[in-house]
Every structure is written in C-alpha cells, then in structure tokens.
Amino acid sequence: MANTCSYEMRLAGERQNVIDVLHFIEGHGPLVESTEEVFDKNIGKSKTIDSLQPCYVGRCGYDSSPIKIIEKDGKMYADLSDECAWSVITAMIDRDEDGGACKSLTTLASKYDVKMEIYSIECGVGFSEYYFFPGKDTAEDGYSEDNFEHEGVGDALQDDGLTKNDDGEWVDSDGNVIENAFEDKVMELFPWEWRQLNGDEWWGEGETTTLGKFIEEFRASWE
C-alpha cells in the first residue's frame, strides 16, 4: 500500500466555481449533516449522534499547499501541488463517502463545471497517475482512455541494473545511491505533458501563494 503520493493539479473554470472547489480541497466546504458512532460511558455502549461537518476532498489539500492563481476574462486557473495519502484515485476520486461529507473530484468537476488535470508520482510502491476531468461532462466514475495509472517503473530500473538497498533506495552495482532514480525514470517513460490545461492563451506569470492564504482571502464570500 502506498504511503504518500506527490501530485500536481490544474483547475480551470468560472472564477467563483474554482474558488468553491478549492474550499473542498482545503477541507472547508459547506456544512452537511453527518452521523457518527460514539461510546457513551454512562450507558456503557455506543450510540449514534447527528452533527454538522464541512465537506472535503480526501486527504490531499493543506493550508501550506503551494498554489499559483491566474485570472483572465472572468475565468480562474489554478495550479496546486502537494502530497496526498495513498494515491490520487484512492484519496481524491473514489471518495464519495463519510455520510456525504467526503466528495470526489469527479463529483466536484461535474457539479461546478471545473476542468481538472492531475499528475502524480509515488515512489514507495512505485506508480504514476494521470487524470483529466472535463467539467460538467465528467462521468461519475471519471475514467476514459486518456486516464491512466502506470506501474512497472521498478522493473525498468532493474533492467537498467539498479537494485534497492535495505533502506529502500535505488543503488547501482557498486552500491552507490542514485538520487531521484524513480522520479527520473517516470519522467523518461511517462513525461508530464499538460495535455489540456497548458495553453499559452492563459498560462503565464501568476500569483504564487498557499492554499490556506488564498482560501482565507475569500472566506467571507463563502455561503
């Protein structure tokens, strides 16, 4: 099982819609009713209580997540990067659960008509992912021939004569640690080329901040 997975995500859509989606990613979407089981020591057993909790996407967005924002002609474009738990598909896509509080990216892409393009890399288990969701036309499962998960990068490194040492580092035949061996091999085999949200017509010099600071600026506008 993967531990943490590095990703980069690009979002594009109407300004307020992108802001709304970023609220979910940061973990402070609108409040929803939720139920949970808690142990009541007075009666000696668990009981169900109703509560309100903010909607969120799986373990992926944090106050410190670096983000670049570009605005043009009423549209907003965001480039967000950080780490998520396990993998993008596990942490952010297959996650409509938790009594309705946890939302998947496919649900948000469709509801808010926000385009999303995502790359990821996980060096422990060893895989890379790519996903593109076209906004309101995103299917519930979010999959298409353009989306992929790559494994077998480790096999390619072994074909190059590398092995893993006891610390899980890739080393050559002399035992020398090869820095960034897995990452470099992923980029060689499956280069990150933004296929959809990469046009010069919108991408350029943008404001770089953190997700927490960006969301705080618009917190008062959240309804």
Q: Please indicate, yes or no, if residue 67 is contained in any of the structural domains.
A: yes
The reported pLDDT for the residue numbered 174 is 93
Q: Please indicate, yes or no, if residue 36 is contained in any of the structural domains.
A: no
Q: Please indicate, yes or no, if residue 38 is contained in any of the structural domains.
A: no
Judge residue 8's burial from the number of C-beta atoms within 10 Å of its C-beta, 0-12 exposed, 13-18 middle, 19 or more buried: middle
Q: What is the C-alpha separation between 192 and 187, in angstroms, rounded?
A: 7
The reported pLDDT for the residue numbered 41 is 53
Q: Which two tokens stand for residue 24?
A: 């979910």
Element (H, E) at 9: strand 4-14
Q: What is the C-alpha separation between 106 and 128, in angstroms, rounded?
A: 19
Q: Please indicate, yes or no, if residue 42 is contained in any of the structural domains.
A: no
Count up the domains in the chain and report the number: 1
Q: Please indicate, yes or no, if residue 203 is contained in any of the structural domains.
A: yes
Q: Please indicate, yes or no, if residue 8 is contained in any of the structural domains.
A: yes
Q: 115: domain range?
A: 4-31+50-221
The reported pLDDT for the residue numbered 173 is 93
Q: What is the C-alpha separation between 26 and 35, in angstroms, rounded?
A: 22
CATH of the domain at 24: 3.30.70.1270
The reported pLDDT for the residue numbered 223 is 46
The reported pLDDT for the residue numbered 46 is 64
State the amino acid at position 72 in one-letter form: K
The reported pLDDT for the residue numbered 176 is 94
The reported pLDDT for the residue numbered 1 is 43
Q: Please indicate, yes or no, if residue 45 is contained in any of the structural domains.
A: no
Which of 97, 107, 110, 65 is closest to 84 using CA atoms? 65
Residue pLDDT tens, the chain, 223 long: 447 888 888 999 998 899 888 888 876 665 555 555 555 555 666 655 555 555 657 666 666 788 888 888 888 888 888 888 888 888 888 766 555 666 788 888 888 999 999 888 887 777 888 888 888 877 766 555 556 666 677 888 889 999 989 888 899 999 999 988 888 888 887 777 777 777 555 555 666 777 777 767 665 554 4
The alpha carbon dihedral of 85, 87, 93, 97 has a sign of negative
Q: Please indicate, yes or no, if residue 37 is contained in any of the structural domains.
A: no
